[in-house]
Amino acid sequence: MNLYRVLAVVRRISRQVISDRRLIALALGAPIVIMTVLALAVRSGPSAARIAVVGRGLTGLAAAAVADRLRGPGLDVVLMPDARVEAAVRDGELDAALRLGDDTLARRLAGHPPRVELLVSGSDPTRVANVMRRMRERLPELAAAMAPEPPPDCPERCAAGPAGPPELTIVPLTGERSDLDYYVSATAPLVVFFFGYLLTAMAFLRERVGGTLERIGASPLRPMELTTGYFGGFLGLALVQAAVVLGFMVWALGIRNAGGWPALATLLVLTAVCAEGLGIFLSTLARTEFQVVQFIPLVILPQALLCGLALPVEYLPSGLHELAWAMPLTHATAAVREIMLRGNDLRALPYLGVLAAFAVGAAFLAALAMRRRAY
**Over its length of 375 residues, how does the chain's per-residue pLDDT go in tens digits?**
667 767 777 777 677 667 767 667 766 676 677 677 667 666 665 567 788 888 665 444 557 777 777 777 777 788 877 777 887 887 777 888 888 766 665 666 666 677 777 888 767 777 777 787 777 777 777 777 666 555 555 555 554 444 566 777 777 776 666 777 788 888 889 888 988 888 888 877 777 777 766 666 666 666 666 667 777 777 777 778 778 888 888 888 888 888 888 888 889 888 988 888 888 888 877 777 777 787 888 888 888 888 888 777 877 877 888 888 999 999 999 999 888 888 888 888 899 999 999 988 887 877 777 666 554
Cα three-residue angle 138-79-90, rounded to 5 degrees: 90
Per-residue pLDDT, 11: 77
Task: State the DSSP H helix or E strand holding residue 329, giving kind and residue range, or none if neither.
Answer: helix 328-340
118 φ, ψ (degrees, to nearest 5):
-110, 105
Domain boundaries, the chain: 49-176, 180-374
DSSP 27-62: HHHHHHHHHHHHHHHHHH----EEEEEEESS-SS--
Whole-angstrom distance, CA of residue 96 vs CA of residue 171: 10
Is 172 in a helix, a strand, or coil? strand
Q: Are strands 49-55 and 115-120 parallel, antiparallel or unpaired?
A: unpaired
Whole-angstrom distance, CA of residue 26 vs CA of residue 31: 8
The closest alpha carbon to 248, from 193, 180, 176, belongs to 180
Rounded to a whole number, what is the largest CA-CA distance in the chain? 102
Per-residue pLDDT, 230: 73
Question: For domain 49-176, which architecture applies?
Answer: 3-Layer(aba) Sandwich (3.40)
Q: Which residues contact 90 (CB under 8 A, 6 or more apart)?
A: 121, 173, 174, 342, 344
Whole-angstrom distance, CA of residue 182 vs CA of residue 163: 38
